[in-house]
Structure 1
Amino acid sequence: MYTPPFTVSAKAINLIADIAGLIERYAIRLEQEDGLLLRKINRVKTIHSSLAIEGNKLSEDEVRDIIDGKTVVAPIREIQEVKNAIATYELFSQLDAFKENDLLRAHGVMMQALVDNAGHYRRGGVGVFGEQGLVHLAPPADRVPMLMGDLFDWLKHSNDHLLVRSCVFHYEFEFIHPFIDGNGRMGRLWQSLILGKLHPLFEHLPVENMVYANQQAYYDAITASTKAGESGPFIDFMMQEIYNALKAHQGKPLKNKQVPGVPNKVPNKVPNRLRMLYPDISNACWEVYLQIKATPHATTSEIGLALDISDRMVRKHIATLRDCRLIERVGGNKMGYWKINK
């Protein structure tokens, strides 16, 4: 059986032990009452970060709006990239990280309408270019099927720890660069899928967000491994990022988390005359009204975090307030805000 060249450093061994301890703590964290909201927030961060690394300029709010089915004014290709990523990540539980055909299937969804041969390995040469010119010349196209077949065979049958295998696969995948486009986002997705074999929580851990925040270090680790002829430096980097991502999500429930610019408790009270005029409006809806009054430029997700309710419920309450003409929209979907009517 072919074995990719790699070394596991003392740092990586220590991180494996540390990550194992954090996994169970994060699993418990996801079972708290705000777990569903946390999963949604992390999915938005995952999709936004993975595409931003590839040059997509849509904001987290715009990605969230697309997920929620709202209209976003932006370049068609960037919107298509987000829609494709949403559809691909929705397949997460259906994809087997050890099956090569599932990789091709996922690429077909991820790159639909973006490249001509989505779901198929490239038929021509490809290189990775940086500011200094050519950084990496990928293997010839006619070798790709064999190289990917060997890589999947090793992934499935190796006795190495899944954390190690996920990092090695990610690096080797980027080195082979099997597709004409979409290799970066597919490599990060597939590492998460492999980690999902270790624990299902990795579907909801935004490792991509950590990579995005350390994008240059990510590329430097790939370059260092290429120069070394083995993926040891990349293993160290990704292990640290996984550890950092888990560590960052050991905090308090979202309802105790202060959102910048949005107070958790708004001191103002709804005037009695309004309550008498609109007796059918719920207390939860009035709380949204007060949040808008206190911070009119807050996003629906920020209001939801402050009140510990879902983004969908915030939008529902806003619709109620709008229909009662208690609030009105000033400006468009992207740059506008809700205004309290006097």
Structure 2
Amino acid sequence: MSRWPAAQLQTATVENELWRSWDDESSRTITVERTVPALVAGLAIPALEPATGEALAEATRTVSELRDRAAETTGVLGHLSAVLIRADAVASSQIEHITTSSEALAVALADLGDDDPDRSPYPVATELVAANVTVALSAQRGSEDLTEDWFHRRHSSLLAADPEIEQRHLGAWRDCAVWIGESRQSADFEGPPWDRVPALMDDLVRFAARSDVHPVAHAAIAHAQFETIHPYVDGNGRIGRLLIHRLLDPRPAAATAPVPVAHGLLHNPNGYVGGLTAYRRGDLDDWITVFATAVTDGAHAAVRLVDRIAGIAGDYRERVRTRQGSAVSQILDGLLGTPAITAGEIQAAYKVTPGRASQILHQLADAGILRLSDHRAGRSRVWVAHEVIDAIDTIPRRLIDTLERTGTNG
């Protein structure tokens, strides 16, 4: 086992927020155990066990296979980042029990531009999942340095629509205790004291800037360290998974085929939690092996999704014969990344008349490519490419099936 500094467990006596003066069995104070990770920015990565090295090599190989497969997929290459990040972000949200229908999300993400003041807002869950997808795409495509501001801006965007978070906690390190469990007294995990967070996150930012660590191990350690610090009052799981995308392969070319790691991590939810626990007790081999296996699983799932999207793209061209570069051709291409559209959007984007826009929609509906959605963009009817939506949903749907089978609550 490759040793890594174990997190310190600090026992503290704190006020019991659940204390009730009228309850004789209620105590004014409780004893809690806080987990405080070591600083890691300057630590040398220890020699890993052979099995861990094999897991890293397999993850690297499958990620390379995904990149190669994406590069071969002409005609849909520009949409793969959106497709794969969306699948992973939806899965990441579902881990937190934040769900919405596939079509509602497609409509929200399409940004169809209807500015009708009477339009009902999207449900909170839809806005939160859409924000997760949007922020994930920004995080994965962006090339800016990882800084405190990088985290705060994404946290603000991710949770802006959440009515349960106080405004002062948006894009700000927490100023209170956080724990995982039904109550603080029986928590499975409590993060370090809030006044330790700024220094710990500054250390993590410096670790993330290193270039001497294997990319998969780099992302694994940074993710586990972030989840141990738990720097925000909420959203730590989702932000921590965005960090994975940012570090797994920061090269610009990687934007074409990101790995849906959330799928891989929660494909074995008990293993994920066990791996984080191992990291906190100083077992780097166990955690990196769990993480590398998740990367491998995610990359394999991504290859299947790339192939399915490529198959849909080819099928579209068989069903609707049109010249390259035409409005219809461009719409077919665009539906692969944004599978929702309105007549108004077609008119505005392709400078066609309302009659021609309607004709295109009905042509694609007759070909089985589009169908009318129950969701609307203001007063506008929305059409969706249901086969693309179904393909993207494959990854999160498999994840939810796994969580339901294991009874895991993410």
TM-score by length of 2: 0.60
Q: 1:142 to 1:13 in 2, by over 3 A?
A: same
Is residue 48–residue 60 contact of structure 1 (8 Å, CA) maintained in 2? no
**Distance in 2 separating the partners of 1:319 and 1:209:** 39
- Residue 62 of structure 2: which of 6, 22, 30 is its match? 22
Of stretches 118-127 and 203-212 in structure 1, the one that deviates more from structure 2 is 203-212
- CA RMSD across the alignment: 4.2
**Distance in 2 separating the partners of 1:247 and 1:162:** 18
Is residue 39–residue 204 contact of structure 1 (8 Å, CA) maintained in 2? yes
1:128 counterpart letter in structure 2: I
1:160 counterpart letter in structure 2: V
Q: 1:309 to 1:84 in 2, by over 3 A?
A: closer
Aligned position for 1:279:
none
Is residue 170–residue 188 contact of structure 1 (8 Å, CA) maintained in 2? yes
Q: 1:231 to 1:54 in 2, by over 3 A?
A: farther
Q: 1:312 to 1:329 in 2, by over 3 A?
A: closer
Aligned position for 1:35:
77
**Distance in 1 separating the partners of 2:177 and 2:298:** 35
Q: Report the CA distance between 1:44 and its aligned residue.
A: 2.0
Is residue 44–residue 60 contact of structure 1 (8 Å, CA) maintained in 2? no
**Distance in 1 separating the partners of 2:133 and 2:206:** 29
Q: Report the CA distance between 1:238 and its aligned residue.
A: 1.1
1:127 counterpart letter in structure 2: W
Aligned position for 1:276:
none
| 2:209 aligned counterpart, secondary structure | helix
- Residue 196 of structure 2: which of 137, 140, 143 is its match? 143
Aligned position for 2:49:
9
Of stretches 77-86 and 249-258 in structure 1, the one that deviates more from structure 2 is 249-258
Is residue 219–residue 248 contact of structure 2 (8 Å, CA) maintained in 1? yes
Q: Deviations over 1:215-246 (max 9, x none)?
A: 343223223433x3444322211110111222
2:221 maps to 1:181: no
**Distance in 1 separating the partners of 2:197 and 2:131:** 24
Aligned position for 2:160:
112
2:359 maps to 1:320: yes
Structure with more contact order per residue of length (Cα contacts < 8 Å, sep ≥ 6): 2
**Which structure 1 segments of 5+ residues have no match?**
270-281, 286-303
Q: What does residue range 331-342 of structure 1 map to in structure 2 within 5 Å?
A: 332-333=374-375
TM-score by length of 1: 0.71
Q: What does residue range 56-95 of structure 1 map to in structure 2 within 5 Å?
A: 56-69=98-111, 76-92=123-139, 93-94=141-142
Aligned position for 2:148:
100
| 1:51 aligned counterpart, secondary structure | helix
Percent of aligned pairs with the same amino acid: 18
| 2:187 aligned counterpart, secondary structure | strand
1:310 counterpart letter in structure 2: L
